[in-house]
Chains A and B, each alone.
Chain A
Amino acid sequence: MRKDTGKNIQPDTALIGSCIKKDRTAFKQLVTMYQQYAYNLAFKILLEEEDAKDVVQETFIRIWNHIDNYRKEILFTTWMYRIVTNLCYDKLKSFKRKNHVSLHDAAGQGINLTNETEHNADSAENHEMIKQIRRLSRGLTTKQRMVFILRDIQGHSVKEVSEVLNMSEGAVKTNLYLARMFIREEFYKSENTGRIVR
């Protein structure tokens, strides 16, 4: 797994204990420690700031409601990772159902991002990358997109992806191959028409 803000710091037992007792101050500390980690992942999957923030909020509400289910045998970040991934997956599926036109769809049609000012903190390079990924991953199915993001952007192993998404390793590889094939075609198409600045 790759480095991510907050990933390697785990909450101590006392902090978790206070959160189980519904101590709001302790919980706020937990939120401060892990919201960037959750946002980073949610944004990479959803590619839309407001959607990612919604998922972060929902994640912490789930954690608050179900923290007594957390078992310290697994890393807190792993537990949280699953919650974020599942919520993102559900969100992507609901977008597909509702034919939701999200920003990343619009971006591909040459419409400017409305949140550009909000992303001031991101480097120009990051920004260009976000636009590219939005453009390239537009036509992927939900599964292909999840597999692609977790494997090629997050850098997880096939086995880890299969565990997080509850899929067989074979299914992960098939989705990965289809996603890369699609993205490669889009990539060369864009390269030929000069839309991607490398």
Chain B
Amino acid sequence: MNCHTSKKYLYLFREGELSKTEKAALTRHLKDCNTCRMFAEKTQGFEYYLNSLQSFEPQLTNPEKLTEEIMQNIPDNGKKRVIKSTRLFGTLIVRVAASILIIIQVAMYVYQKSFINHSVLSLNNNNQTTRSQNHDRQNLNAECVEQTKTILLDIFGDAGITLRHSTFAFTKNLSPGEIESYAVQICACSSEIEKLRDKEQKKLFLTNLINKEMTLKF
């Protein structure tokens, strides 16, 4: 065993991190190597320090307040809703601004395209969308925006809210118009996405959906 491997093994000092053979090889090396022995002695202080970290128990200062916030943010029966952050400054403002912008843009797009773009909407066999088609335009807009946001939030976590920047970062640079059209497509495929249990599958589905539409459109 060389000193490099020996040092690596010395870091894996907790129970179950090294096999019997590895431990034996390390012991043999330490017998003959002064440098590694000194290193091992010095590591002991660090081990004590690491052990002391386990006593660290963060506590919530105001649990009742958090419970209330959680209860306010859980969706009404059956209907999914988007999370409101507990944060008061910075990110919240950015998120709210981004969300409003997206809502306006998507709403305008849907308003213009909802009755023309039957081909996209008919991708979805779900009754929900079939029902939506019979709704008036505004209901369709609101539902579509909410649905898209919920889907993205579910798949990408927080990043889903900032539609423009994070979620589509894995595709090419998109103009606002292109992003809006994807929102409509995502919304139209919501029931298919919902059926996929695994998050990675959902990501793949979305990526494929976007790439397919891109080659179709551009």
Measuring CB to CB, which residues of chain A are less than 8 angstroms from any residue of chain B? 2, 5, 22, 24, 27-28, 31-32, 35-36, 39-40, 43-44, 50, 52-54, 56-58, 60-62, 64-65, 69, 87, 90-91, 94, 97-98, 118-122, 126, 129-130, 133, 151-153, 155, 157-159, 173, 176-177, 180-181, 184, 187-188, 198
Contact = CB atoms under 8 A, between A and B. Distances in A.
Contacts of B42: 188
Interface of B: 8, 11-12, 14, 16-17, 42-43, 46, 49-50, 52-61, 63, 66-67, 69-71, 73-75, 77-78, 80, 83, 85-87, 154, 156-159, 166, 169, 197
Residue among B12, B42, B53, B61 having the largest count of chain A Cβ atoms under 10 Å = B53
A69 B194 CA distance: 13
Q: Ordered nearest first, which 6 A-B pairs have the shortest CB separation?
A: A43-B58, A90-B157, A177-B11, A180-B11, A129-B56, A64-B74
Contacts of B53: 129, 133, 152-153
A158 B71 CA distance: 36
B65 to A, nearest CB: 10
A130 B159 contact: no
A32 B62 CA distance: 12
Contact of B43 (A24, A52, A184): A184
B74 A91 contact: no
A159 to B, nearest CB: 8
B158 A53 contact: no
A54 B158 contact: yes
A61 B158 contact: no
A68 B78 CA distance: 12
Contacts of A31: 67, 70-71
B22 to A, nearest CB: 10
Contact of A126 (B11, B58, B83): B58
A44 to B, nearest CB: 7
A129 to B, nearest CB: 5
A61 B72 CA distance: 10
A188 B54 CA distance: 19
Contact of A133 (B56, B61, B158): B56
Given A50-B87, A180-B11, A188-B46, 5 more contacts: A31-B70, A61-B70, A126-B58, A153-B56, A180-B46
A60 B75 CA distance: 11
Given A28-B67, A28-B71, A36-B59, A69 B197 contact: yes
A99 to B, nearest CB: 13
